Amino acid sequence: MFKPLLHYIYIFYFILKFTKCELINENLNSNKPVINIEKISEIRNEEKLLKNFVPVNGEGQQNMVYYTYNNLDKNVQSQVDNEDSKNNDENKKDENKKDENKRLKRSLEEIFPEFKNYTSQKLLMMNPSPRCKIPQRTIFFQYPSFMESNINGGVSEIEITDKEYFVGAIQQIGLRVNSTSTFKSIKRALEINNIIRLFHKDDPNLYWRNHRSKSVVQSDINKYQRVNHMLMFHEICRKHLLYKNYDIYRKKYPNDYNFMPETFTYDHFDEFKNLFKDYKVSKDNLWLIKPRNAMTGRGIRFLKNIEDVREHDIVTRYIADPLLINDRKFDLRFHVLVTGHDPLKIYLHTNGWAKLSTEKYDLDLDSLDNIYKHVTNMGLNLKNKQSNMTAKDIVLSFAYVKDYLKKKYNMNYSEFEEEVKDLIIKAIITMNHLELEKQKGRNLKSNNIFDLYGIDIMVDSHFKPWLLEINISPHLGEENLSMERKILLSETLVDTFNILGMVPYSHVNGKAYEGEYEIEDPVEEAVQQSICEFTRPLGGFERIFPLNSNIQYYKKFFKVKSPKNKALWEEIKNSKY
């Protein structure tokens, strides 16, 4: 008699112990249960019971009522089913997210094999200025140890251990992105600041190219990426296009655009042949022939007759009355940083150098073929076997040049430098509308693309500056150069990187390491990014446009006044910054 009873008690015990149950609060004044749907997730059949513990008379006694799934009200069943489905979906999302993260981590290691050798990355970060309304810190680049430190207040170190946020840069000197070739100056500037060198084009924080191939700006560029070379850089960096664009403005503004020697491009070759059909060489009528896309002075020669001109050559009037240093012809190399065209922002570095010819200058018509008297290109002059001058001899600092010109010619260098700034701004404006048009439809921020130009200026006997050319890839080599030249190169590069405002971001989701900050209006974002840029440490750079003092004058030269340009000009005007 007791055995069957014990048997049922035993079964009842295990039902209570192992059945997954949930509480249902029952209203004592009603037979209808009030079910906490959020806690019901596994009720699928009659074998799974609902336990209902209900306080009676508030005295802690409990009545226990059992409900099977099938005994529930249909509306309650529906709620249970919906909650169950929702939980299943959430579980699947969690699983999918975990799988996606694993896939992205694997993908990250495959895309960035350079990161494998690093367990962490230490970076210096600088705080934004009080005038910057975008509270994101940017990477601070310090000068090499052989220079005086540029670290001031507001700079601190972080250590990134998640490789997803590592900062990498491409140093592409030749045609191949995976080439190990580079210039010591740029390698050092990035290496001493712990920027990892990359050898592929996938999502670099910085893409530095030192050649003149087409733009590598991707359509899905991250807002924190920095890529050098504007989309339309060739419009001012190829000799024939530089003059073509300049000539358009010269015809419209002859009193303002008067800083390039008269030039004939192949587009006007018929006009040239007609004007020069009876040409004879004379000291007051000398012309140079320059190959259209040649570099380092290759192919430059004096015009002797029109048959000397080949297809695509350009012909330009020779500046026959140059200032001389130590009886040698020279030109001045200025480094100019452009951090965007929408809005346009231009900086001029205070440091530069003069490049001398290796032979003393004269206008002997019988020795015009001796190009080492007339061309100042360093690479060309170092090939002069008749000279024992070295790179240290033919590259002079601005400090030396200023002192020499003051003593020799009583030249007011400050006034001359203002004229140089003027022609630089005007020359770059000639391509602004072309760059804006090319950028349409691209997902570009105002500071994604930049250019560091090498601009060559000749000075005549009246102290007038003449624009010779704009180099898209100024020479950054420092081999066989003086320590002074190495310092100048390092300063220019480090100052450039600090102005660019690089931010560590995720190579998985594109978000900033230290947090996102969004400005919904793209025009306002461009304005605020520009103000933040202006207030970063400029080093040896000086902002020359836009300034409150010159916007009114230069804006008339803009063929297209974009909303971002106009908004920045207005902000500068109102803030008097």
Residue 441, domain CATH: 3.30.470.20
| Number of domains making up the chain | 2
Residue 389 domain flag: yes
- Six token digits for residue 520: 């919904």
Question: How many CB atoms are closer than 10 A to CB 108?
Answer: 17
Of 268, 284, 282, 278, whose CA–CA distance to 305 is shortest?
Answer: 278
Q: How many residues does the chain have?
A: 577
C-alpha triplet 90, 92, 93: angle, nearest 5°? 65
Whether 22 is covered by a domain: the verdict is: yes
Choose one of 17, 48, 79: the last residue of a domain: 79
Whether the predicted pLDDT of 197 surpasses 70: yes
Task: Classify residue 410: in a domain, yes or no.
Answer: yes
Q: Domain span at residue 66?
A: 2-79
Mean pLDDT across the stretch 183-188?
Answer: 91
3-class DSSP state for residue 172? strand
Mean of the per-residue pLDDT values for the chain? Answer: 84
Residue % of the chain over a pLDDT of 90: 58
- Where are any strands of DSSP class E within 57-117? 61-68
**Calpha distance 25→44 (Å, rounded):** 20
Handedness of CA 374, 380, 385, 387 (dihedral sign): positive
Provide the residue type at 456 as one letter: D
Does residue 361 lie within any of the structural domains?
yes
Instruction: Kindly report whether the peptide bond that precedes residue 465 is cis, defined as omega within 30 degrees of 0.
Output: no
Q: Using CB atoms within 10 Å of the CB of residue 480, give its burial: 0 to 12 exposed, 13 to 18 middle, 19+ buried.
A: exposed
| Most confident by average pLDDT, 201-215, 479-493, 508-522 | 508-522
Judging by DSSP bridges, how do beta strands 353-356 and 395-397 pair with one another? antiparallel
- Residues of the chain with pLDDT > 70, as a percent, come to 79
* Beta carbons of 269 and 248 less than 8 angstroms apart: no
How far apart (Å, rounded) are the C-alpha atoms in residues 211 and 181?
12
99-108, 122-131, 151-160, 289-298: lowest mean pLDDT where?
99-108
Q: How many CB atoms lie within 10 A of CB 73?
A: 12
CA neighbours closer than 13 Å in the CB half-sphere of residue 412: 4
Is 60 exceeded by the pLDDT of residue 204? yes
Does residue 440 sit within a domain?
yes
What pLDDT band is residue 111 in, cutting at 50, 70 and 90? confident
- 292 confidence band (pLDDT: 50, 70, 90): confident
462 part of a folded domain = yes
- For residue 543, pLDDT over 80 is answered with yes
Predicted confidence band at 307 (pLDDT cuts at 50, 70, 90)? confident
pLDDT digits (tens, 9 = 90+) for 53-95: 334 444 444 444 444 445 555 666 666 667 666 666 666 566 6
In a domain, 337, yes or no: yes
CA–CA dist 184, 131 (Å, integer)? 36
Q: Which of 51, 79, 107 is the last residue of a domain?
A: 79
Q: What is the pLDDT of residue 202?
A: 84
Mean pLDDT calculated for residue range 556-562: 97
Structural domain includes residue 537: yes
Using CA atoms, how far residue 408 sits from 358, 366, 456, 466, in Å, is 20, 29, 22, 20
Structural domain ending residue among the three candidates 31, 57, 79: 79
pTM score, whole prediction? 0.81
What are 220-241's pLDDT values in tens digits? 789 999 999 999 999 999 999 9
